Amino acid sequence: MLNVLLVEDDLDLAETVEQYLELEKIRCDYASNGMAGLQLAMENSYNVLLLDLNLPRLDGLSLCQQLRAAGDDTPILMLTARDHLDDKLAGFQAGTDDYLVKPFELQELVVRLQALARRRSGQMQKLSCGDLEMDFSAKTVMRSGLPIKVSPIGWKLLEALLRASPAVVTRQTLEEAVWGNEIPDSDSLKVHLFHLRKAIDAPFSNPLLQTVAGHGFALKGKGQS
């Protein structure tokens, strides 16, 4: 079970997030200001920290900086109403791992949490699903011991899917993982997913890449639901 800390001064939003995470079997501690959040973060062990950017007593950036200065390598997802590049750059410089701009879909929040929890400390060199393995240090993709060739865009798609696996990744999340804010026409993702599916599934008897109608895409090994 994932264990996260939410530091958010919007009580209505915090309650909504807590209730949804509970439904997703994610344990959530809560603090309504930066100082209380800092204390909880330093006293407990969490898989991911959810920090609002604008917090009373100690803002999100300062909280992030203090944790990093103390050697805390817990992944941090910053929640913010600001969607400006300068704000995001400041956050990444402070040690933030990812941003989620308000308002956001709760399903996407869960996917981001699961993805961040998988790469704690930034030292994770391999991701896998069933017999499929992505090795970042060797820059290789293997399935059942056989090398798989994927394009640069296929690599980004596969990484996003593996980090979230077995959870569903929305179309928008995949597009942003590959192209950021400069998303091309609607057929581009479809074409690249077709080629990725052909590369990782076509030669094998059990497909891993699944389309979840109305929701997105997921990599699921045998027995995963």
pLDDT for res 119: 63
- Which candidate, 212, 123, 198, places its Cα nearest to that of 165? 212
Name which residue leads in pLDDT, 69 or 102: 102
> Which pTM does this prediction carry?
0.54
Domain ranges of the chain: 3-122, 126-219
- Fold for 126-219, please state it: Arc Repressor Mutant, subunit A (1.10.10)
pLDDT tier, 122 (very low <50, low <70, confident <90, very high otherwise): very low
Name which residue leads in pLDDT, 205 or 136: 205
- Which candidate, 222, 26, 30, 20, places its Cα nearest to that of 128? 222
pLDDT for res 166: 84
For 5-41, what is each residue's pLDDT tens digit? Answer: 999 999 999 999 999 999 999 999 999 999 999 999 9
Contacts of 99 (CB under 8 A, 6+ apart): 77, 78, 80, 88, 91
pLDDT for res 223: 67
Name which residue leads in pLDDT, 78 or 167: 78
Cβ(98)–Cβ(9) under 8 Å? no
What's the average model confidence in pLDDT over 93-113? 90
For 85-98, what is each residue's pLDDT tens digit? Answer: 777 788 788 888 88
The CATH number of domain 3-122 is 3.40.50.2300: yes
pLDDT for res 58: 96
For 175-210, what is each residue's pLDDT tens digit? Answer: 888 888 788 876 899 999 999 999 999 989 999 999
Strand partners, 33: none
pLDDT for res 225: 61
For 140-164, what is each residue's pLDDT tens digit? Answer: 999 999 999 999 999 999 988 987 7
Q: What angle do CA 147, 160, 112 make, to 5 degrees?
A: 150
